[in-house]
Amino acid sequence: MSVTAHKPGDGFLQTRDLVKRFDGEPAVDDVTLSINKGEIFALLGSSGCGKSTLLRMLAGFEAPTSGSVLLDGVDIVALAPNERPINMMFQSYAMFAELYVCDNIAFGLRREGMAKPEMTVRVEEMLRLTQLEAFAKRKPHQLSGGQQQRVALARSLAKKPQLLLLDEPLGALDKKLRERTQFELVNILESVGVTCVMVTHDQDEAMAMASRIAVMSHGRVLQVGTPQEIYEHPNCRFVADFIGNVNLLEGELTLDEADQCEVTTACGVVHVGHGVSGSLGMAVAVAVRPEKIHISKTRPATGVNLFEGKVREIAYFGSYNSFIVEVKRPASDARDFRITETNTTRYEGEGITWGDRVFFWWDDSAPIVLMR
């Protein structure tokens, strides 16, 4: 164990230039992260992007090819998993089928040699925390998926780790139960105050649960930010496209001032209410979220960022409507815009239907210009 320079403001958990290669192929590629105490931090990315490998290096199940992992300023790379004040909860909860819930929770404590009275108190505390008091004397197969998930969590928290690692913690649950359990899980983690790094490929789950998210692709971290930052200010095309729905328009930067810029696209000029400090003529993309676009059958007063097209598809989702509008471009090919409209009042509909010619437009604060 070596103590490296650690400034008070530094993250509680840090990775520096962390790399893991399998047969020369990078699974985790130069990841530098700083995670604060008490944070719920999500690693988000599609299958195979290196999330689990990164988590396993934090836990000590995988040795980095290079780089370091610092916990509270101490490099822990040389420590075995059980020497780290860290607990990892795997996706398959890996419970002992023949043991009662209470004994599953106590398992790690018993192995650690905790005295019986203390252990009983701790197990009761964990049962209470996860609202499993009534299930202490059941076996795993007598529990629902959500209850099993809570047992796994209780067991992970029983040793009071400083850092909890969760790999797809809700992966085994169906959609409805997942959504309910997300809030439960956050409440439990916050009441314990444990620092938590969780892996998920579900962006809604990351947005709902995490204080900050790292978006990963091909072993690299592309952006770290709060859910709002990631959604409203994606830093590249991949992140904009990966999180939520987005209309991406490729074009050329044709005006760039401190407080505004213009991008010329095949559909026309897009006016943007912020500068980008780019160079004129460079290839950029404009990103506009579907819910930031207004749609109407009648021509609006504005002439800026105004487009005309034909409704190709409509879907009614109850709380909102989704439109696909096709815009003919000068080059005679067409492109689709996705537009959503919230149903704030009971939907009587303006009567926009398939095949209608519509106008759609957005404020100049809506688009983001992406240079990567």
Ligand X SMILES: Nc1ncnc2c1ncn2[C@@H]1O[C@H](COP(=O)(O)OP(=O)(O)OP(=O)(O)O)[C@@H](O)[C@H]1O
**Contact (CB, 8 A) for 242 and 215:** yes
Q: Which does 181 bind (CB under 5 to 8 A by kind): ligand X, Mg ion, none?
A: none
CB of residue 41 to ligand X, shortest distance in Å: 15
Residue closer to Mg ion, measured from CB, 52 or 321: 52
CB of residue 101 to ligand X, shortest distance in Å: 27
Single-letter code of the amino acid located at 314? I
CB of residue 173 to ligand X, shortest distance in Å: 16
52: contact with Mg ion by CB under 5 A? yes
Of 15, 11, 33, 42, nearest in space to 197 by CA: 42
* 130: Cβ contacts below 8 Å, ≥ 6 apart: 150, 151, 153, 154, 188
CA distance 350 to 22: 57
CB of residue 82 to ligand X, shortest distance in Å: 21
Of 222, 160, 308, 211, nearest in space to 11 by CA: 211
235: contact with Mg ion by CB under 5 A? no
**Region from 51-59, 118-126, 187-195, 282-290 binding ligand X, contact rule CB under 6 A:** 51-59
Quick note: the x/- pattern for ligand X over 172-201, rule CB under 6 A, is -----------------------------x
Q: Which does 228 bind (CB under 5 to 8 A by kind): Mg ion, ligand X, none?
A: none
Residue closer to ligand X, measured from CB, 26 or 268: 26
235: contact with ligand X by CB under 6 A? no
CA distance 246 to 241: 6
CB of residue 169 to ligand X, shortest distance in Å: 13
63: contact with ligand X by CB under 6 A? no
Q: What DSSP element (H or E) covers 192?
A: helix 175-192
51: contact with ligand X by CB under 6 A? yes
Q: Which of 3, 32, 48, 300 binds ligand X (CB under 6 A)?
A: 48
Q: What DSSP element (H or E) covers 169?
A: none
HSE-CB for 250 with a 13 A CA cutoff: 4
